[in-house]
């Protein structure tokens, strides 16, 4: 007798050692019955197939529960971000993913000086705050109060992989601290500045949450940093992609010759801000594509190795005329 939730079907019997290759062949030929779960029998794997083939026999398989397709969404901690204002889709997402507590729809693009978005709560707890874990680091975030994007996780790891122990790092536009806390794993210390008090509050929470002892949060306009910070840095992160160019003189002023500036920017063509970069002492520049942002625009990063220039004014970054 067939159990409830089970079904008889034609079965291909493959030795375990070659089972994966057989499965791939069945998928390629479109004959694997994906509504049933393959099963093991001693040293063989039985694959359900849609019709009789030479060598098949009848076998019973467990029926897979079909999960209804969910609306497209991105997950940040316990929050699902939907692309449409779809209330019933949001409820289905929360029902299907028990780790989520809230579903949101972004009413606006990132906007204003603090680069935040406005949201509508579609389902679940009425909050825009959550805890997101990225490569083992816990981030307390609040999407309506301070910018955060999990899409830069790989980029943060790329930078981390190039940090040499002992480095002094400055994050000029640090938000809730994702770059700062990531790079702090390898750097000697990190100064992390932001203009948004809510972002700096979250960053302090994140420093405590992760017991990070080498990140200094600073509530400041990046334009004032040369007056506040002593000395120069080995590496500077500038993640203000909409308009980083006015801050390049500050970054060059605060970076030691031979140090690195990572300047993130939204561009429409290759080399778009190269001219602005070359107004400063530069040893080497490398432009990298990170991801598409909108039609015809992409997120890029310029990795700039700072050159040496004699007679540069410490406070403004302007050249002193002899």
Checking DSSP bridges between strand 255-267 and strand 233-239, what pairing results, if any? parallel
The rounded distance, in Å, linking the Cα atoms of 76 and 148 is 9
Contacts of 201 (CB under 8 A, 6+ apart): none
Kindly write out the interface string for residues 66-85 of this chain, putting x where it contacts ligand SAM by CB under 6 A and - elsewhere.
Answer: --------------------
Kindly write out the interface string for residues 4-33 of this chain, putting x where it contacts ligand SAM by CB under 6 A and - elsewhere.
Answer: ------------------------------
Tell me the torsion sign for CA atoms 57, 60, 62, 67: positive
Which of 130, 182, 196, 206 touches ligand SAM by CB under 6 A?
Answer: 196
Does 239 contact ligand SAM by CB under 6 A? yes
Number of residues forming the site for ligand SAM (CB under 6 A) = 23
Minimum distance from residue 195 beta carbon to ligand SAM (Å): 4
Does 150 contact ligand SAM by CB under 6 A? no
* Residue the block writes with tokens 């006015």: 246
The rounded distance, in Å, linking the Cα atoms of 19 and 47 is 9
Q: Which stretch binds ligand SAM (CB under 6 A): 5-13, 49-57, 190-198, 226-234?
A: 190-198
The rounded distance, in Å, linking the Cα atoms of 98 and 54 is 44
Minimum distance from residue 216 beta carbon to ligand SAM (Å): 14
The rounded distance, in Å, linking the Cα atoms of 157 and 243 is 24
Which of 207, 222, 248, 250 touches ligand SAM by CB under 6 A?
Answer: 222
Q: Which residue is nearest to ligand SAM (CB)?
A: 175
Does 302 contact ligand SAM by CB under 6 A? no
Q: Which stretch binds ligand SAM (CB under 6 A): 44-52, 173-181, 274-282, 302-310?
A: 173-181
Contact predicate 216/191, CB 8 Å: yes
Task: Output the CA–CA distances (angstroms, integers) from residue 310 to 31, 48, 100, 304, 305, in the order listed.
Answer: 71, 74, 55, 18, 16
Which residues form the interface with ligand SAM (CB under 6 A)? 113-115, 146-149, 152, 173-175, 178-179, 193-196, 199, 221-223, 239-240
């Amino acid at each position: 007798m067939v159990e409830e939730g089970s079904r008889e079907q034609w079965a291909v019997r493959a030795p375990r050692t070659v089972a994966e290759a057989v499965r791939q062949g069945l998928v390629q030929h479109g004959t694997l019955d994906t509504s049933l779960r393959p099963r093991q029998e001693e040293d063989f794997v039985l694959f359900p197939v849609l019709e009789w083939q030479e060598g098949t026999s009848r076998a019973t398989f467990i029926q897979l529960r079909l999960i209804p397709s969910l609306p497209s969404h991105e997950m940040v901690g316990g929050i699902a971000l939907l692309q449409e204002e779809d209330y019933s889709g949001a409820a289905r997402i929360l029902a299907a993913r028990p780790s989520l507590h809230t579903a949101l729809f972004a009413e606006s693009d990132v906007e204003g000086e603090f680069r935040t978005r406005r949201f509508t709560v579609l389902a679940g707890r009425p909050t825009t705050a959550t805890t997101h874990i990225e490569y083992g680091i816990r981030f307390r975030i609040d999407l309506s109060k301070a910018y955060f994007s999990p899409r830069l996780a790989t980029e943060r790891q790329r930078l981390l992989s190039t940090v040499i122990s002992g480095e002094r790092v400055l994050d000029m536009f640090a938000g809730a601290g994702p770059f700062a806390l990531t790079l702090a794993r390898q750097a000697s210390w990190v100064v992390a500045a932001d203009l948004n008090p809510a972002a700096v509050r979250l960053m302090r929470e994140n420093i405590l949450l992760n017991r990070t002892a080498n990140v200094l949060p600073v509530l400041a306009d990046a334009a004032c940093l040369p007056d506040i910070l002593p000395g120069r840095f080995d590496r500077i992160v500038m993640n203000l992609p909409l308009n980083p160019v006015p801050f390049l003189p500050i970054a060059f002023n605060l970076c030691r010759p031979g140090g690195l500036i990572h300047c993130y920017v939204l561009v429409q063509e290759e080399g778009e801000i190269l001219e602005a970069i070359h107004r400063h002492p530069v040893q080497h520049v490398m432009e990298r594509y990170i991801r598409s942002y909108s039609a015809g625009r992409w997120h890029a990063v310029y990795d700039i190795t700072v050159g040496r220039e004699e007679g540069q004014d410490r406070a403004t970054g302007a050249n002193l005329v002899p």
